[in-house]
Amino acid sequence: MTSGRGPQVLEIVALSRVFDLPRAFATANTPTVRVIGPDQVTDPAKIEVAISWVPTDDAFAPYPNLRMVSSIAAGVDRILACPSLPDHVVVTRIRDTAQADMMAGFAAWHVVWHHRRMGQYVANQPLRIWDRSFQPPAPGQVRVGILGFGLMGQACARVIGAMGFPVVAARSSASATPVPDGVTVLAGPGSIQAVAERSDILINVLPLTDATRDVLDAALFARMPAGAVLVQIGRGEQMVEADLLAALDSGHLAGASVDVFRSEPPPADHPFWGHPNILVTPHRASDTSRLEILRQIALNYAALVAGQPAPGAVSRTAGY
Ligand code: GLV
């Protein structure tokens, strides 16, 4: 904290090897929170809070009094995996209903894209082809599965369920979270596989943990109904990319939307770029506003200072 005549300003150091966060937040800093780069830190001992997205391995080492690290988003996997993250530091994430709504809109758009075979119309347009022959099944006949039933999965289920699609979602453990009409939730071991078996369109919004790494693999694709499609908007490391290619090329899966990759950006020769049945987007499924990120960081930090649990704290053992 720095003090002066005005309100106290919480200076938080930004640690990312992929984004210029001080620049991104330059126009969003509030009177009470300021994001600075490591090069602007005058006394590392005064830094108690960091904001991070894909930190370097030694990113946290210079700050002996670090108490809290916040992700800029919902995911914390790269922060938790960072070797210099001290055990006692509280890791928080952003839980933003507006981000979840944005995610739900993106997922719903992909459901319509595949259900209505919109790719065919996009391909037909430059050829001036007016082809109305495809008759889509009614939404009630297209089963949508959602892997993950946290804030993101619940928003996706609510929106896609309201569009008339029967939705079945998998969550890691039972919970009292209310389930929207038209949505079935399966919990616990085997639920991911059981949902995949019942999904004509399977949407992945799981957090990345040891349990979900490589979960979208040949064995899971084989359980999906013939002609099913995958919407991968979780984390790149959850999918064995070669297995998706094999499932598409064998004709077992009909298509996929992929927003997240094992390595981002994927190299120019990555086979997904030119694949006729894969729709690639550059990790743009959803976003949180910078002001909301700073608001939640300030709230989480205030809770810690007051000796309370930070509302956005993740479980370091669960990984989310
Ligand atoms: C985006 O990838 C997020 O973690 O919210």
Per-residue pLDDT of the chain (320 residues; tens, 9 = 90+): 554 455 689 999 999 999 999 999 999 878 889 999 999 999 999 999 999 999 999 999 999 999 999 999 999 999 999 999 999 999 999 999 999 999 999 999 999 999 999 999 999 999 999 999 999 999 999 999 999 999 999 999 999 999 999 999 999 988 888 899 889 999 999 999 999 999 999 999 999 999 999 999 999 999 999 999 999 999 999 999 999 999 999 999 999 999 999 999 999 999 999 999 999 999 999 999 999 999 999 999 999 999 999 999 999 999 99
Report pLDDT for 177: 86
Which tokens in the block code for residue 270?
A: 């990555």
Asked if residue 137 is part of any domain, the answer here is: yes
Q: Look at residue 8 in the predicted model and tell me its pLDDT.
A: 81
Instruction: Please work out whether the CB of residue 75 comes within 6 Å of at least one atom of ligand 1.
Output: yes
User: Among the atoms of ligand 1, which is closest to the Cα of residue 99?
Assistant: 5
Residue 121 domain-assigned (yes or no): yes
Residue 311 lies in a domain: no
Residue 255: inside a domain: yes
207 CA to centre of ligand 1 in angstroms: 9
Whether the CB of 79 sits within 6 Å of ligand 1:
no
Alpha-helix runs per DSSP H in 15-117: 21-25, 77-80, 97-115
From 235, 275, 290, 316, active-site residue = 235
Same domain, residue pair 88 and 150 = no
Query: What stretches of the chain adopt beta strand conformation (E)?
Result: 10-15, 33-36, 49-52, 68-71, 90-92, 144-147, 167-171, 183-187, 201-204, 228-232, 253-258, 278-280
Q: Is 54 in the pocket of ligand 1 (CB under 6 A)?
A: no
319 lies in a domain? no
Q: What sign results for the dihedral spanned by CA atoms 287, 255, 187, 209?
A: negative
| Pair 223, 198 in one domain | yes
Q: Give the residue among 274, 278, 228 at the shortest CA–CA distance from 252.
A: 228
pLDDT of residue 7: 62
Question: Are 107 and 91 members of one domain?
Answer: no
Q: Are residues 167 and 135 in the same domain?
A: yes
- Residues 43, 167, single domain; the answer is no
Query: In whole angstroms, what is the distance from residue 170 CA to residue 195 CA?
Result: 6
Same domain, 128 and 250: yes
Active site residue 213: no
> 269 Cβ partners below 8 Å, 6+ apart?
none
In the three-class reduction of DSSP (H, G, I as helix; E, B as strand; rest coil), residue 170 is classed as strand
Give me the pLDDT at residue 210, please: 94
Torsions phi, psi of 101, nearest 5? -65, -40
Residue 269 forms part of a structural domain: yes
User: What domain count does the chain have?
Assistant: 2
Q: How far is residue 45's CA from residue 67's CA, in Å, rounded to a whole number? A: 11
Indicate whether 318 belongs to any domain.
no
Taking the alpha carbons at both ends of the chain, their separation in whole angstroms is 28
Domain check: are 91 and 109 in the same one? no
The CA 103 to ligand 1 mean position distance, Å, reads 10
CB crowding 285-302: b at 16 or more within 10 Å, else e: bbebebebbbbbbbebbe
Residue 116 CA to residue 101 CA, distance in Å, equals: 22
Residue 53 is part of which domain span? 10-96+288-305
Identify whether residues 249 and 264 lie together within a single domain: yes
- Count of residues in the chain: 320
- The verdict on 90 and 169 lying in the same domain is no
Task: Answer whether residue 2 is part of any domain.
Answer: no
Q: Among residues 223, 283, 295, 316, which one is catalytic?
A: 283
Residue 9 near residue 1, CB atoms below 8 Å = yes
Q: Tell whether 77 and 149 lie within a shared domain.
A: no
Domain identity same for 78 and 115: no
CATH number of the domain encompassing residue 190:
3.40.50.720
CA of 131 to the centre of ligand 1 (A): 38
Residue of 94, 286, 293 best suited for mutating to test ligand 1, as the one with most atoms within 8 Å of CB? 286
* Residue whose C-alpha is closest to residue 107's, from 59, 155, 43, 64: 155
- 111 and 260 in a single domain? The answer is yes
pLDDT at 120: 96
User: 270 by DSSP, 3-state: which?
Assistant: coil
Give the C-alpha separation, 87 to 316, whole Å: 9
Parallel, antiparallel, or unpaired: how do β-strands 49-52 and 68-71 relate?
A: parallel
Active-site residue 283, yes or no? yes
